Amino acid sequence: MKGNGGENLRETLYGSGGGALRKYMRLSVGEGGLRALLGYELRILLFENVPGALGIALRRLFYRSMLGGAGRGIILGKGLTVRHPSKIFLGDNVAVDDYCSLDARGGPDARIEIGGGTVISRGSILRTKNGRITLGPGGSIGSHCILSSISSLEIGPNLLMASSCFVTAGGGHAFDRLDVPVAAQGMVSRGGVVIGENVWIGAHAVILDGVRIGDNAVIGACALVNRDIPACAVAYGIPARPVRDRRDNPAG
């Protein structure tokens, strides 16, 4: 499936559609209007970098109303980048550490949903380009991970993801034409990524578009996952291949 990957950052910043204020509005809050932009800017100015417990309390209080939905007990760290906040939905007790990015930029179908009790560690990025990211409850995303979607990224409950992983649901560029720069040829999706429940993904793993990872699977550190991994498999390598089934463990 080929598409433009949603709203292109270069076009948003440098295209001909509207003045500088309109372009910035499309980048930060979408089409919410000047009132939404002013509320967004005021919150960022006053509360984005307030440290400690006071900052957490203030962001919990004042960011809630600009999000699409927010449950009880959320924790939002300092330096958090939030784009198109009305398309971001957080369950109860979600914790997002310092200097993360939640970027739901794109068309009307763009959306980020994070299930209750999920922890997203320092410096991680969740971004859509007219796609969707859905994280089931009870997950743990390690530091400096990137989860990107131009189609659909679905993750089941109780994910354990170590640091510096990269998951892309779409985002590959078409490159067939030589007369057009690769960056101008649009993006290609192979159907998104589905990660089942209770999956453990080791540090620096890369999961490419079109992949399905079954429930209870384990993906080794530095693995390149470019094909489906069955449920309960232990897989590693470049490319990742199943090496055993967890159900064969005599210890249970």
**pLDDT tens digits, residue range 213-237?**
999 999 999 999 999 999 999 999 9
What's the rounded mean pLDDT across residues 189-208?
Answer: 95
Prediction pTM value: 0.89
| Residues catalogued as catalytic | 173
Question: ω before 157 within 30° of 0 (cis)?
Answer: no
Amino acid at 165: C
Checking if the pLDDT of 245 tops 70, the result is yes
Work out the average pLDDT over 54-79. Answer: 96
pLDDT of residue 186: 78
Task: State the amino acid at position 239 in one-letter form.
Answer: P
- CA of residue 114 relative to chain centroid, distance: 9
Across the chain, mean pLDDT equals: 90
> Reduced to 3 states, what is the DSSP secondary structure of residue 183?
helix
Q: How many domains does the chain have?
A: 1
Query: Per-residue pLDDT averaged across 82-93, rounded?
Result: 96
pLDDT, average across residues 182-189: 79
Tokens of 199: 């999956």
Q: How far is CA 130 from CA 25, 94, 188, 244, in A?
A: 17, 23, 13, 37
Residue 10 confidence (pLDDT): 55
Q: Is the pLDDT of residue 32 over 80?
A: no
Q: What is the pLDDT of residue 5?
A: 46
Q: Which of 32-41, 111-120, 166-175, 181-190 has the lowest mean pLDDT?
A: 181-190
- pLDDT exceeds 50 at position 7: no
- What pLDDT does residue 12 have? 52
Phi (first) and psi of residue 42, to 5 degrees: -65, -45
Residue 14 pLDDT level (bands cut at 50, 70, 90): low
Where residue 144 sits, what CATH number does that domain have? 2.160.10.10
CB 139 within 8 A of CB 162: no
Whether 118 contacts 98, CB under 8 Å: no
Residue 195 domain boundaries: 2-248
pLDDT-derived band at 18, boundaries 50, 70, 90? low
| Residue 2 CB coordination number (10 Å) | 12
Residue 141: half-sphere exposure toward Cβ, Cα within 13 Å: 31
CA–CA distance, 97 with 141 (Å, rounded to integer): 10
Q: Rounded to 5 degrees, what angle do the CA atoms 153, 79, 110 make?
A: 25
CB atoms within 10 A of CB 21: 10
Give the pLDDT confidence score for residue 250 in this predicted structure. 60
* Residue 76: alpha-carbon gap to chain centroid: 16
Phi, psi of 161 (to 5 degrees): -120, 120
pLDDT above 70: residue 185: yes
Q: Is 34 left (phi over 0), alpha (psi -120 to 50) or beta?
A: alpha
Q: Which residues pair with 111 in a beta bridge?
A: 132
- What is the mean predicted confidence (pLDDT) over 196-203? 98
